[in-house]
Amino acid sequence: MEIFFFTILISLFAWLILSPVVFVWWFFDPYAKNRFSKSHGKIAMVIYIGAFLSLMLIFSQGIEKRKVQIIRLPGIPSKLLKILPLDNPTHDVVYIGRIVQRKGLHVLLKALSLVRKEMQEIKATIAGPADHNYLRKLVNLMHKLGLQCAIEIKEPVSESRKYEVIRQHKVFVLPSLRDYTPNIILEAQALGVPVIASRVGAVPKMMIEGETGLLVEPDNDDDLAEAIKKILFNGRLRKRMSIRAKEFAENFTLEKQIDSLESLYKLLLGD
């Protein structure tokens, strides 16, 4: 967050002294458009830090595409790429994250109920900090659907433990109704675990449909159930997705993001 405010100050200072501007556009910056319009005529380069959500907004301001450089966020530690996926994960489906309404976990429960008609022994794990009212609704729904033996709901897990829990599962599911740039799906792919996620926010840019996982429509338990079955019932597909997921995740390491940013500034300085 300190970097965010620092880049705002740099842009304002450059505008005041009438110098060429390197405009840093953070995807979550609510004031970027206003500052951009003030600096537009002096912009030498736009460094967009984010996951592509605001690119069309940048281009709509009349900036030339050749001046736009992308630094992808979020980023993942490269150590995850060195962790080998398990040959035979012991569990099936996992979700790790906030247990709140907008994450769509009630949709996941309904989908699992449909999958269970063809796969009685399915095992799923849900873990993370919970909104207690929503958690109570999930538990009631779980009992109503007869999923008590199929789903384990856990307390939040530590960062190191989180990676081990993900590795123990065949597929990571993110059934969000709304989302932005969920880092967890990059972490899962880096660990070699295929991802099923809702087509929301920047998610489609953070995976490769059909190669590192599957995209589904939000709030659609039938669509989600079919995607889960497709991956769980096809070991060869899952293995292929696991390999491709690790390859794709290499594009998002923190080290690569830092190197890209350093190279851009060296280019501007003529080094």
47 bridge partner residues = 24, 69
Q: What mean pLDDT, rounded, does the chain reach?
A: 83
Q: Which of 20-29, 190-199, 216-225, 253-262 has the lowest mean pLDDT?
A: 20-29
Q: How far apart are the first and last CA of the chain?
A: 28
Confidence (pLDDT) at 202: 86
C-alpha pair distances (Å), 183 with each of 17, 77, 106, 109, 186: 38, 11, 21, 22, 5
What is the crossing angle of helices 235-249 and 183-190, to 10°? 110
Task: Please tell me the predicted confidence (pLDDT) of residue 5.
Answer: 47
18-22, 59-63, 67-71, 256-260: segment of lowest average pLDDT: 18-22
DSSP-derived letter for residue 216 is E
Regarding predicted confidence, which is higher, 55 or 113? 113
By percentage, how much of the chain surpasses pLDDT 90?
A: 60
The answer, yes or no, to whether residue 110 has pLDDT greater than 70, is yes
How high is the pLDDT of residue 255? 78
Mean pLDDT of 139-157: 96
Cβ within 8 Å of residue 270, ≥6 positions away = none
Q: Does 37 have pLDDT greater than 70?
A: no
Q: What is the mean pLDDT of residues 105-114?
A: 98
As beta bridge partners, residue 198 has 216
Average the pLDDT over 85-91 and give the result: 92
One-character DSSP codes across 101-156: GGGTHHHHHHHHHHHTTT-TT--EEEES-B-HHHHHHHHHHHHHTT-TTTEEEE--
Helix axis angle, 235-249 to 221-232, nearest 10°: 100
Q: Strand 68-72: give its sheet, edge to edge.
A: 21-26, 43-50, 68-72
Work out the percent of the chain whose per-residue pLDDT is above 70: 68
Higher-confidence residue of 20 and 197: namely 197
Q: What is the pLDDT of residues 67-81, one digit of tens each?
A: 676 666 668 889 999
Please tell me the predicted confidence (pLDDT) of residue 39: 56
Higher-confidence residue: 9 or 250?
250
Residue 98 has pLDDT above 70, yes or no: yes
Q: What is the average per-residue pLDDT within 188-198?
A: 98
> Taking the CA atoms of the chain, what radius of gyration do you get in angstroms?
21
Average pLDDT on 249-264 reads 77
Angle at 258 (CA atoms; ends 255, 264), nearest 5 degrees = 140
Report helix, strand and coil shares of the chain as percent, to nearest 5.
Answer: 50, 20, 30
Average pLDDT over residues 191-201: 97
Question: What CA–CA distance (Å, rounded) separates 169 from 174?
Answer: 14
Give this prediction's pTM.
0.80
